Structure 1
Amino acid sequence: MKKPFRIIMGLALAFSVMMSSCSTTRETEVEDELADFRSWVSTTTSNIADRTEEDWKQSREDFRMRTQELDQKEDQFSAELKQEYQELKQQFQSADAAYAQNNATPDMAEWERNLMGRWADYATINETNVQDAYITFMENVRQQSETWRDQEWEMAKRVLEKLNERKGEITGNIPTEIEVKIKALQMEFRTLETTADATDSN
């Protein structure tokens, strides 16, 4: 009886060691991949002011491909690695937003004219015509957004943010039904943007 028992115990121990080794190997691989991503994010975001538009466009694509692979392995991350991974993604996304802002600032007035039309002078917007301003904005977004990429959506978002800021400055009371319609238009913009992001990722 002792010999079979020893054999069984030996096999169990060997299996345990093998599983532990495999687990350690997977953890090491995951840590190595995240370390590579960390290095890439650090290098990529350290000199955005010197990057050309084509170069940064490639960086966006690299980010999409890298995170697509890492997202599939995220369930293997420890809690600490998951937090770091999210922070690294946020670091790149913040750099991407900064790049878009830095390189698009001279065109802001043109974007406001294209999307806001006669409401590009925000000071003319008040409680009686604020809905018309949002309608004009969304009509132009619908017409122009089919060919937009990330940078164009970022510019449109900035125009909407300025419109939202102006709405917040209006001292008169905006009727509830108008508020509801404006919220619907704001949600439509976010839906179109999200759909465009999903299309770009495929």
Structure 2
Amino acid sequence: MAVYILMNAPTMKLLNKSAPFLLLFFTLGTALSACESRRTIEAEEASTASAGVDQQDSRDTILVVRGNTNAVKELKKFKDWVNQKANKVDSATNENLPEIQAEFKRKTAHLEKGLDSLSKDAKAEYLATKAKYKAWEAQNKERTSKPLQAGEIKKRQKQLLGEYQNLNSINATNVCEAYLVFMGMVRAKKHNWDQNDWDYTDYVYRQLNNRKQEITTSISTNDELKIKSLQAEYLALEAGKDAKDLIKAVKSK
């Protein structure tokens, strides 16, 4: 459908003179618009491509970090296991030593598969933990090769428990007092003890724990809490003593 626009003569004359300029303006505008549209699309494509690279890098980084995190977690578990063994003085441990040695081999073999993903400091920590275990194992073999003497055990029970040296006399009413007497003697004498003293002391401690276990259902909540605190103190002292011995053992090698 045709549309007719009525114009007067002066207007027509002006349009005729301006036509070339209007055509040039329209052409440039169209080209610029197309160019602008094209650049926007290219920018979006570049952005999408960049996002793809960033996502891939992010995934790779996550995998690396995740691998390191798992290795660090395994190292921590190994350290906790070794510390649990090293901080425990038990004359019966030698009987279970073959099982402990087998477990040590399994744990170290598993850890060493991911050793390359650990940092330099973490690797050093791993080697130090292995050395700690080896020192504990050697020390334990030496200690458990010398059985405790019945006469000396009786003497130590009297020294460490006083009036509670007869374990059967300990009941729910006086068990907390028995632990207080025991820990009082440990605090007073520990500075002059050697490894042999600690072995006998630990034997008495375990016998006291066994007696407590027999009457545990009758012990009051307050006494139970006090006893747990005293047990924690003893274990901390024992661990500190073992740590010093292990450092000496490692340095001497």
TM range (shorter): 0.5 to 0.7
Change (3 A) 1:195 1:82: closer
Show the 5 A alignment for 1:37-52.
Answer: none
8 Å contact kept, 2:148–2:200: no
Q: CA deviation at 1:96?
A: 2.9
Change (3 A) 1:196 1:171: closer
Q: Secondary structure at the match of 1:157?
A: helix
Percent identity, aligned pairs only?
Answer: 31
Task: With the length of structure 2 as denominator, give the TM-score of the two structures.
Answer: 0.43
Q: CA deviation at 1:143?
A: 1.1
> 1-side partners of 2:211 and 2:161: how far apart?
13
Q: Which is worse superposed, 114-123 or 162-171? A: 162-171
Correspondence 1:145 to 2:193 = no
Larger Rg over CA atoms: 2
Correspondence 1:162 to 2:207 = yes
**Matched residue, 1:75:** 123
Relative contact order: is structure 1 or structure 2 higher (C-alpha 8 Å, sep ≥ 6)? 2
**Matched residue, 1:136:** 181
Find the partner of 1:123 among 168, 171, 174: 168
> 2-side partners of 1:157 and 1:176: how far apart?
25
Name the Cα RMSD after superposition: 3.1
Q: Secondary structure at the match of 2:219?
A: coil
Show the 5 A alignment for 1:77-96.
Answer: 88-89=134-135, 91-96=137-142
Change (3 A) 1:145 1:91: closer
Moved over 6 A (4+): 81-87
User: Quick one: which amino acid aligns to residue 228 of structure 2?
Assistant: K
Correspondence 1:193 to 2:238 = yes
Deviations 1:91-148 (CA, angstroms, capped at 9, x unpaired) = 4243133135x15443100000000001010001111110000001001111111111
8 Å contact kept, 1:116–1:133: yes
8 Å contact kept, 1:113–1:120: yes
Gaps of 5+ in 1: 1-73
> 2-side partners of 1:87 and 1:144: how far apart?
28
Find the partner of 1:97 among 143, 156, 163: 143
8 Å contact kept, 1:104–1:155: no
Q: Secondary structure at the match of 1:127?
A: coil
**Matched residue, 1:45:** none
Deviations 1:18-39 (CA, angstroms, capped at 9, x unpaired) = xxxxxxxxxxxxxxxxxxxxxx
Q: Which is worse superposed, 174-183 or 90-99? A: 90-99
Aligned length: 127
Q: Which is worse superposed, 170-179 or 82-91? A: 82-91
